[in-house]
């Protein structure tokens, strides 16, 4: 799928970007694989692992999604863009709302405009379960980003560029994940728990990369793809990460939900079951209902929430999952 293609990943030095690059280099032979990010130190460190010599497809491009001109240069002769750049730390976004808007909303617009102008064929953007009925500014900016990417297919019109999104749950082992925090806290004899009944969807970084790649292969433009994932109570996850360690309840933080949803009941009217995933289809006249002729619509009023999910991780399954990250 990516052989001979020029692929660019924004936020390429982040947790997802590094995992994406590693898997793509092992499996495919891209013509170019471009890491686009604003941190030159992280690019330097990544270059030590994935060199950009003459016989390598790797390229490192310093830039910020806030800069339309820089994006326009970076996306020249690019076939596929994976948009992973974002401000995603919830407290930081709450304290610095205009910064979150600049990156997570205006940055999305800049990616869309540059992709259309430069003739990029496919753009797939990473979203989050926090965009479903958002309760934080971060979730709200990601929801707006989804809306922008879906509607961008209308702006592209008869041109080649098509846009889709993936929306998934908590990534085990990613930067900012609670697991490294708990491991560090366990050294002092206690880990912090916000609420004993809190639940979350869980996915590993390799699984997230595989989901993005498979969604790229099947996208028509306009879909929000949602993987079928297992749920787990955070109290049980803490027991797996730090067994026999005291748990200190600190209360639910501002804007934090007890349970996360990846498809809301409102979205159910436009959601279809594709087997290993759901797809939220756009409610726009340009969308062809024949794109997935064998897809099964979900029931009206159905929602996909971490507390009512039918798939739950056992403690042993969670140990194996975490051990492989």
Q: Which of 130, 142, 228, 296 is catalytic?
A: 130
Cα distance between residue 280 and residue 188, in whole Å: 44
> Which residues lie across from 204 on neighbouring strands?
172
Based on its alpha-carbon atoms, the radius of gyration of the chain, rounded to whole angstroms, reads: 20
Cα distance between residue 159 and residue 119, in whole Å: 8
Angle 107-118/137-156 helices, nearest 10 degrees? 20
DSSP string over 256-306: --SS-EEE-TTGGGGEEE-SSEEEE---STTS-TTSSTT-EEPPTT--EET
Cα distance between residue 16 and residue 18, in whole Å: 6
Say if residues 108 and 148 touch (Cβ distance below 8 Å).
yes
The token pair that represents 318 in the structure block = 């969670």
Cα distance between residue 208 and residue 85, in whole Å: 15
Cα distance between residue 161 and residue 152, in whole Å: 9
**In this structure, what are the phi and psi dihedrals at residue 24, rounded to the nearest 5 degrees?**
-65, -45
Whether 246 sits among the annotated catalytic residues: the reply is no
Say if residues 63 and 39 touch (Cβ distance below 8 Å).
no
Active site amino acids: 130
């Amino acid at each position: 799928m990516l052989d001979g293609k020029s692929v660019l990943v924004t936020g390429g030095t982040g947790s997802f970007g590094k995992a994406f690059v590693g898997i793509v280099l092992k499996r495919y032979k891209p013509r170019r694989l471009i890491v686009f990010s604003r941190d030159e130190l992280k690019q330097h460190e990544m270059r030590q692992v994935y060199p950009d010599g003459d016989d390598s497809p790797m390229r490192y491009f310093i830039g910020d999604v806030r800069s339309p001109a820089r994006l326009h240069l970076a996306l020249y002769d690019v076939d596929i863009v994976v948009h992973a750049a974002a401000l995603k730390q919830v407290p930081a976004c709450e304290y610095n709302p205009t910064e979150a808007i600049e990156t997570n909303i205006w940055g999305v617009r800049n990616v869309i405009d540059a992709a259309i102008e430069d003739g990029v064929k496919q753009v797939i953007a990473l979203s989050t379960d926090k965009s479903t009925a958002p309760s934080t500014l971060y979730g709200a900016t990601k929801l707006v980003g989804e809306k922008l990417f879906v509607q961008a297919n209308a702006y592209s019109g008869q041109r080649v560029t098509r846009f889709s999104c993936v929306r998934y749950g908590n990534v085990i082992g990613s930067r900012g994940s609670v697991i490294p925090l708990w491991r560090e806290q366990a050294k002092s004899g206690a880990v912090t728990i916000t609420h004993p009944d809190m639940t979350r969807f869980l996915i590993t970084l390799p699984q997230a990369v595989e989901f993005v790649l498979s969604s790229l292969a099947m996208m028509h433009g306009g879909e929000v793809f949602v993987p079928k994932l297992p749920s787990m109570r955070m109290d049980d996850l803490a027991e797996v990460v730090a067994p026999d360690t005291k748990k200190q309840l600190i209360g639910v933080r501002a804007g934090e939900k007890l349970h996360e949803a990846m498809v809301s009941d409102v979205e159910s009217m436009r959601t279809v079951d594709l087997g290993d995933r759901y797809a939220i289809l756009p409610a726009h006249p340009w969308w062809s209902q024949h794109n997935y002729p064998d897809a099964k619509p979900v029931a009206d009023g159905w929602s996909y929430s971490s507390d009512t999910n039918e798939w739950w991780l056992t403690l042993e399954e969670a140990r194996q999952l975490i051990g492989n990250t």
